[in-house]
Amino acid sequence: AQTVTQSQPEMSVQEAETVTLSCTYDTSENNYYLFWYKQPPSRQMILVIRQEAYKQQNATENRFSVNFQKAAKSFSLKISDSQLGDTAMYFCAFMKHAGANNLFFGTGTRLTVIP
Amino acid sequence: KAGVTQTPRYLIKTRGQQVTLSCSPISGHRSVSWYQQTPGQGLQFLFEYFSETQRNKGNFPGRFSGRQFSNSRSEMNVSTLELGDSALYLCASSRNSGLAGGPGSGELFFGEGSRLTVL
């Protein structure tokens, strides 16, 4: 079975600063995908970033980047130059390769950006 | 391009009733998956439909069912409602089924959800 753990229920960051959200996972699969999804107060879930396990290079999307450590089963999200619009719940998620769009989600980290 | 549309947005039912939720995916997307979100259990996968076929089902009782139509619109049904079924039900669409693997896998576009309250 796959499990995803987010150990930080809540975090806050000053506007324009950098914050890192942690995620660890457990799986016996060798090939899989990892994601960070964002759920703002309006509650529509949005994909932030995606990482394929076979790629050693860490994914980046503008101000968002990940630190993927496959051996340690760690997948942290770094948000640079935090903006007020980054305030949201952030969910780390895992999907087996060829996994029927069945995402296993962590419990989420509520991030608040302080002006 | 219109996003994923879920209806109704809010509904209140009583125990024992049944409910049907609807999801219209993004045009061109053939995969629709459903998730239940509760404070206690978090986000849990219900099932995925692709080209009118159920591809996978999560660990939910048979009271939870779904279907997909030829235009990719999907419905999920919960029969004999229980208090514990109160949740936000999220629908997500994707161009391809996750079973295909490859580019775009797991890149889900979510709707705003249907908030079900069971009294």
CA of B58: how far to CAs of A39, B12, B110, in Å? 22, 24, 18
**Rg (chain A; Cα; Å):** 14
Task: Please tell me the predicted confidence (pLDDT) of residue A99.
Answer: 63
**Exposed/middle/buried for B18, CB within 10 Å: 0-12, 13-18, 19+?**
exposed
- Please list every residue in chain B whose beta carbon sits closer than 8 Å to the beta carbon of residue A103: 35, 43, 45, 106, 108
Q: For residue range A68-83, what is the model confidence (pLDDT) as tens digits?
A: 999 999 999 999 999 9
Q: Please tell me if residue A91 touches chain B, with a CB cutoff of 8 Å.
A: yes
Of the candidates A50, A99, A106, which has its C-beta nearest B107's C-beta?
A50
Q: For residue range B65-118, what is the model confidence (pLDDT) as tens digits?
A: 999 999 999 999 999 999 999 999 999 998 876 665 666 667 889 999 999 999
Inter-chain CB proximity B100 and A98 less than 8 Å = yes
Rounded Cα distance between B12 and B117, Å, is 5
Q: For residue range B4-55, what is the model confidence (pLDDT) as tens digits?
A: 999 999 999 999 999 999 999 999 999 999 999 999 899 999 999 998 999 8
Helix (H, G, I), strand (E, B) or coil at B84: helix
Q: Single out the residue of B91, B81, B85, B93 nearest to residue B29, CA to CA.
A: B93
Inter-chain CB proximity A104 and B45 less than 8 Å = yes
Residue A42 has pLDDT above 90, yes or no: no
**Rg (chain B; Cα; Å):** 14
CA of A113: how far to CAs of A66, A81, B6, B21, in Å? 19, 10, 29, 34
Residue B119 has pLDDT above 70, yes or no: yes
Rounded Cα distance between B50 and A52, Å, is 22
Task: Please tell me the predicted confidence (pLDDT) of residue B95.
Answer: 84
Residue B64 has pLDDT above 70, yes or no: yes
Residue B1 has pLDDT above 80, yes or no: no
Q: Please tell me if residue A44 touches chain B, with a CB cutoff of 8 Å.
A: yes
Q: Please tell me if residue A110 touches chain B, with a CB cutoff of 8 Å.
A: no
Min CA distance, A27 vs chain B (Å)?
Answer: 17
Task: Please tell me the predicted confidence (pLDDT) of residue A62.
Answer: 95
Of the candidates A42, A47, A100, which has its C-beta nearest B97's C-beta?
A100
- Please list every residue in chain B whose beta carbon sits closer than 8 Å to the beta carbon of residue A104: 45
Q: For residue range B46-58, what is the model confidence (pLDDT) as tens digits?
A: 999 998 999 889 9
